[in-house]
Structure 1
Amino acid sequence: METPAIRVSIAPALTFERQMMRPVLCFAISVAAIGQSMAQEKPASPPWSAPATVETITEARKFTSGGVELGGTLYLPRSRKPVAAVVVTHSASSPLGDASLYTHLKVMLPAMGIAVFTYDRRGSGRSGTKTAGGDYTILADDAIAAVRSLKTDPRIDPRRIGSWGLSQGGWISPLAASRSPEIAFVIAVSAPVVTADVQMLFSSTNHLRANGHSQAEIDEMTATRKAVDAYMRGTGTREAAQALIDLARTRPWFKYTYMGETVRDRAVSGWRKEIENDPLRNLTGVKVPMLVLFGAHDAVVPVATSVERLKEIAPRMPKMKVHVVAGADHSMHMAADQSVTLDPRHDGTETADSAEYIAVLSSWLAALGLVGN
């Protein structure tokens, strides 16, 4: 299978030839426009409606990973031939398969002749109560198990099953592909190419700034985060970290840090496991075609730093393509007010509506020969 060479693009213009992009962009705009409506139950068809070209079959499915039963939903285009499929891995704030963040995939991919499987992250919804405890390897193995479960379905082509993940999911999908040859392609969206502690300091700083907090408050938050991270890395004490947390939790900005009120023993802390994960190492282990997407206006992920790190490995990654989407935020939403999008009250309600993002994603999938008849 031929794959496009890497192209790092930060300019607002799309990275594909205009002639090739016209039909895809029209499709992308249509998907962006209707994406939110999919989150609600479909109304009954009016009596004058015509039959749709693509019929999507929706099925509840269960599979087992590491002794845990996980539940999800398969969105399958009706087809005479086996179709390609995408397994969705989760953003940290959207653990359920029916989250609005994944709605655009359920609309656009079946319309392209590609199945989508969304499942609830372990410990959430239909997937029991046992979490991964911050262990990305467990979450990656869950994605691999999901792929294996789809391979047994005769309606799905077992050679054309890949994974899409956003944010934390954009770490999980490449990690899964680096651990299993059964994943045929990877799409990593808004996944920082820095460790979790660096990413969260960047994110918390922007959360505070967007919500009107002073530089002095940002400095206090920074000192608190660094004290906790130092303890987790073995260079600081738990007592010093807890003392700063005790002060910080009384501050109005504390909710923007996504930190707990108690510093856990580093020996059992899920956060320690998270900050020890190097996403760049996982990316270099991917040998299949991989699309890496960022939003130019992402306030959660240090995009510029991430792109520079990807440039360093680009010569060794001929199957990787990198694209930065003009105007898009962390969820590939064309957001105008960051004080809203960076408000924790809106976590789990994000939607992707960037036409450029959908156009680039659609074209890349088509170039790989994954689009159905």
Structure 2
Amino acid sequence: MLFEPVTAEFSFLDDGNELVGDFVRPPWPGPYPAVVFVEGSGPGGRDQGSWQTRLAAAGFASLAYDKPGSGASTGDWTRQTMTDRADETVAAVRAVRSRADVLSGAVALIGGSQGGWVAHLAAAADDGIAAVVTVSGPGVSVRIQEEYRLRHQLAAEGFSDTDIQQALLLLRDQIRRVRSGDDPARVHVAQAHWHGASWYPMLAGTTPESIAFIAGIADYDPAPALAALRCPLLAIFGADDLLVPVEASVRA
């Protein structure tokens, strides 16, 4: 490799959890502008492929960290709300800003997929965040995005209209029952008849923990956070995206 960035483990605290990741910087002296990565759905992790090296080559430091309860981080990401995730992101930004080798007024966010919602919300809450870049970050509510994803992703995988409608029913049932106070474990058991369906693993909620998580964030609407943003926003989409309603998100 002609270019080799410098990588060091870096940790910060949020809500009683220690979040651990990699701080990657150019091999020349700082201070540097910096980026904090905001993970999408699932357990996530600090590995961002070639992004960190490419950013370092362009002169940026970056922080990518393990979500609560994954990798070396403590906590449990499945218990987080969108606001919890945004608060955690702000804590990460403030920890990065505190470093002597970072330009404190030049820390931005890169959020992918669900991380796009979180990045909007974090930047709306902290006007010191310099900019936001989202990659396939939805501009619609979680419920609308998930229903769009099931319709288009399942169809692309060759599932029938009947399969798609059943998957949508299960998603709506999960959200309705958990939000009305039902135990996610009971909801999971009640849907046991469908656990063996070939499309079932493509649901967002396939365990009690993930059912609780998707139900907890389903009604999140990014419109207020988008309206409150005062920093530059670059929103990147792919026209043929099966997971995110691109036209509606671009309008938002």
Partner of 2:102: 156
Q: What residue is the counterpart of 1:17 in the other structure?
A: none
Alignment of 1:171-250 (within 5 A): 171-232=117-178, 234=180, 245-250=191-196
Where do 4+ consecutive residues of structure 1 move more than 4 Å? Answer: 241-244, 261-264
Retained in 1: the 8 A contact 2:5–2:53?
Answer: no
The aligned runs of 1:235-314 (5 Å cut-off) are 245-260=191-206, 269-308=212-251, 310=252
Q: Tell me which residue corresponds to 2:88.
A: 142
Please state how far the C-alpha of 1:97 moved relative to its aligned partner: 0.5
1:71 equivalent to 2:20? Answer: yes
Question: What SS is found at the alignment partner of 2:237?
Answer: strand
Tell me the CA shift for residue 176 of structure 1: 0.9
Superposed displacement of residue 187, structure 1: 0.9
The 3 A distance-change label for structure 1 pair 168 and 260 is same
Q: Separation in 2 of the partners of 1:209 and 1:185?
A: 36
Report the residue type matching 1:87 in the other structure.
V
SS in 2 for 1:201: helix
Q: How far off is 1:243 after superposition?
A: 8.6
Structure 1 counterpart of 2:250, one-letter code: V
**Residue identity opposite 2:169 in structure 1:** A
Deviations 1:22-68 (CA, angstroms, capped at 9, x unpaired): xxxxxxxxxxxxxxxxxxxx7xxxxxxxxx5x552111111111221
- Provide, for residues 126-173 of structure 1, a one-character-per-residue CA deviation record: whole Å limited to 9, x for no partner: 111433513121211221111111122221100101111101111111
**Residues 184-215 of structure 1: CA deviation (Å, up to 9, x unaligned):** 11111111122212211211222321222111
Name the amino acid aligned to 1:197.
Answer: R
Determine the C-alpha separation between the residues in 2 that align with 1:159 and 1:112: 18
SS of corresponding position for 2:155? helix
Change (3 A) 1:303 1:232: farther
> CA–CA distance in 2 between the matches of 1:233 and 1:218?
23
Q: TM-score, normalised by structure 2?
A: 0.88
Q: Is the 8 A contact 2:46 2:65 kept in 1?
A: yes
Shift of 1:221: 1.9
> Which secondary structure state, in structure 2, belongs to the residue aligned with residue 295 of structure 1?
coil
Instruction: Decide whether aligned partners of structure 1 residues 124 and 252 sit closer, same or farther in structure 2, where only a CA change above 3 A counts.
Output: same
1:103 partner SS: coil
Identify which of 15, 36, 40 aligns with 1:87. Answer: 36
User: Where does structure 2 lack aligned partners over 5 or more consecutive residues?
Assistant: none
- Give the conservation status (yes or no) of the 8 Å contact 2:149–2:243: yes
Deviation of 1:181 (Å)? 2.1
Q: What is the CA-CA distance between 1:94 and the residue it aligns to?
A: 5.6
Q: 1:94 to 1:255 in 2, by over 3 A?
A: same
Query: Tell me, which stretches of 5 or more residues in structure 1 are unaligned?
Result: 1-41, 43-51, 311-373
Q: 1:262 to 1:56 in 2, by over 3 A?
A: closer
Q: Distance in 1 between matches of 2:97 and 2:134?
A: 22
With CA pairs under 8 Å and 6+ residues apart, which has the higher RCO, 1 or 2?
Answer: 1
* Cα distance between partner residues in 2 of 1:287 and 1:262: 38
Cα distance, 1:79 vs. partner?
3.2
Which secondary structure state, in structure 1, belongs to the residue aligned with residue 104 of structure 2? strand
The 2-side partners of 1:180 and 1:132 are apart by 24
> What code does the residue aligned with 1:62 have?
S
Partners in 2 of 1:208 and 1:109 — Cα distance?
Answer: 35
State the Cα distance separating 1:276 from its structure 2 match: 2.4
Higher radius of gyration, 1 or 2:
1
Aligned length: 251
Separation in 1 of the partners of 2:78 and 2:152?
A: 28
With structure 1 as the length reference, what TM-score do the two structures score? Answer: 0.61
Aligned to 2:59: 113
